[in-house]
Structure 1
Amino acid sequence: MTKRHRIVLAKMGLDCHDTGIVIVAQLLRDHGFEVIYLGLHNSADAVVKAALQENADAIGISFLSGQHMTQVRLLIEAMARQRMQVPVFCGGVVPREDAAELQKMGVAEVFFPGTLGPEVVARVSGVLDRGRAA
């Protein structure tokens, strides 16, 4: 039996709009993922700690507040301190012009408003399946 992908999802910083990430959590669960949703107001260190404790295959974060550049940088730095190397997915209200910079920081995929569920599942699965095959 193939191991299910395990992903930690979280909202970071002061962002308190969680409808989108809750929908993504259910979507991923419906497609066989193990999802650990940490809820609102997480620090980078808390997200990394949870991902390590859960032996997560990936981390997914969502933003509405415009804090994505700062919070992703903090997350990547926290991961580096713990020598954690898993894909990071970022979505929400993220300007398209920020995607390249987020990917330079280490984000595997950036999801914009309007991305349909099947595309989310396909892109997340694709990244994780490639990592598993490596």
Structure 2
Amino acid sequence: MAERTLRVLVGKPGLDGHDRGAKIVARAFRDAGFEVIYTGLHQTPEQIVAAAIQEDVDCVGLSILSGAHNTLLPRVTELLKEKGADDIKVFGGGVIPEDDIPGLKAAGILEVFTPGTSTDDIVKWIRGNIPPRS
């Protein structure tokens, strides 16, 4: 039986209105052979979690530039846990200060990619750390 294609949801939580980077990353995921669901701009954590569960994704990549990362990213992991879907892995990227990364990881964000990270490095990380859920 063939292994299921990895399904990745790319979300833009909060009021951040810039999505060029998220779209570039989503395209890199697609080009790497992943199934990609992009939720668009201005999504609440609740909307992102609902889409992740509905789409049966393996992981959620959150892109944030607005400075609300310490609130919005942990809220996504909290909601996944509340919904019994904490097997859906979460990672993030964007303008996130190095000093905030340990707190995000403690809140369940598996990895944080900062500006300048290559899409190849993100794809390699996903392949090495996120198996398809089945």
**Contact kept? 1:14, 1:41, Cα under 8 Å:** yes
Where does the alignment leave 5 or more consecutive residues of structure 2 unmatched? none
Aligned with 2:81: secondary structure?
helix
Unmatched 5+ stretches in structure 1:
none
8 Å contact from structure 2 (residues 16, 65) kept in 1: yes
Moved over 4 A (4+): none
AA matched with 1:66: G
Same amino acid, percent of matched pairs: 41
Q: Distance in 2 between matches of 1:80 and 1:96?
A: 26
Please give the TM-score of this superposition, normalised by the length of structure 2.
Answer: 0.93
Task: Tell me what 1:58 maps to.
Answer: 59
Q: Report the TM-score, using the length of structure 1 for normalisation.
A: 0.93
Q: 1:73 deviation in Å? A: 2.1
Q: Residue in 2 aligned with 1:98?
A: 100
Question: Counterpart amino acid of 2:123?
Answer: V
How many residues of Structure 1 are paired with residues of Structure 2 in the alignment? 132
Letter matched to residue 40 of structure 1:
L
Q: Which residue of 1 aligns with 2:85?
A: 84
Q: Are 1:108 and 1:127, in contact at CA under 8 Å, matched by a contact in 2?
A: no
**C-alpha contact 1:12 1:40 (8 A) present in aligned 2:** yes
Distance in 2, Cα, partners of 1:46 & 1:127: 25
Superposition RMSD on alpha carbons, in Å?
A: 1.4
Alignment of 1:69 with 2:31, yes or no, is no
